[in-house]
Amino acid sequence: MSVVNISCYKFVTLDDREALRAGLKARCDALDLKGTILLAPEGINVFLAGSRAAIDAIVAHLRADPRFADLVPKESLSAAPPFRKMRVRLKKEIITMKMPLIRPEAGRAPTVAAARLKQWLDRGVDDEGRPVVMLDTRNDYEVAAGSFEGAIDYGIGVFSEFPPRLAAHRGDFAGKTVVSFCTGGIRCEKAAIHMRQIGVERVYQLEGGILKYFEEVGGAHYRGDCFVFDEREALAADLQPAAGRIHR
């Protein structure tokens, strides 16, 4: 497999998005990359595929901008690019929640790394002995591909449905440690901030999402595959395209 696929994001104020879009599109085209970059006032979200050299070059290009210097892409390999075009798009949000007061740049919710989460799930409790609840913040068709064992999900069709569903179940988390998770970290980061804002006491976000968990500890406590928004459609715990295809 010769194609390197990366995904990464960062919540950071972008007030030069038109110029940024033009520069990134030109650089990606020159490197023959395929994929999508989303630019919003709240930050950047990147999904790209290309040769090893091209991916290393675009990551270096991004990190040369001080705002993106700490980007840490998640990687997987495939036999062919899972994208047909190269697009750099301007959006209102890099993930649509319709909660404008949630600004991750101003302060993140606490994170839990994959290895530590696995330890918690092995024991069933966190380091302080609290029961651990996994909360899936993804849409219903993504959850259908696979999720953590016993995870709670609200059967949402779009992420903007998450806040009202959560509000109806806020009391379910009393005395427990809640770990929000999603594919790559972006949705569960917003979700964790929102949970803290509405008074859920012990909330963590899974650092790097399911894909980073797969990369660092494999598929322990996870059942099925992870839906991805490209032509591979789902990845197994070894980060290879899943055998069965998932259709939305």
**Residue 98: its pLDDT value, please?**
76
**What pLDDT, on a 0 to 100 scale, did the predictor assign at position 106?**
60
Q: What is the pLDDT of residue 85?
A: 96
Which residue segment(s) compose the domain that 63 sits in?
3-90
CATH number for the domain that contains residue 109: 3.40.250.10
Mean pLDDT of all residues in 58-62: 98
Give the pTM.
0.85
Residue 86 and residue 110 in one domain: no
Q: Give 23-48 pLDDT, tens digit per residue.
A: 999 999 999 999 999 999 999 999 99
Q: Does residue 98 belong to any structural domain of this protein?
A: no
User: Could you confirm whether 8 is annotated as catalytic?
Assistant: no
Could you please report the per-residue DSSP string of 208-245?
THHHHHHHHHTTTTEEE-EE-SSTT-EE-TTSSBPSSP
Are the CB atoms for 213 and 237 separated by under 8 Å?
no
SS3 170: helix
Mean pLDDT of the chain: 92
Greatest CA separation found in the chain? 53
Spot the catalytic one: 8, 28, 182, 188.
Answer: 182
Q: Are residues 152 and 78 in the same domain?
A: no
* Nearest 10 degrees: Cα torsion 120, 123, 126, 129: 180
The yes-or-no verdict on residue 121 having pLDDT over 90 is yes
φ, ψ for residue 217, nearest 5 deg: -130, 0
pLDDT tens, position by position, 191-224: 998 998 888 989 999 999 999 999 999 999 999 9
Give φ, ψ of 4 to 5 degrees: -100, 130
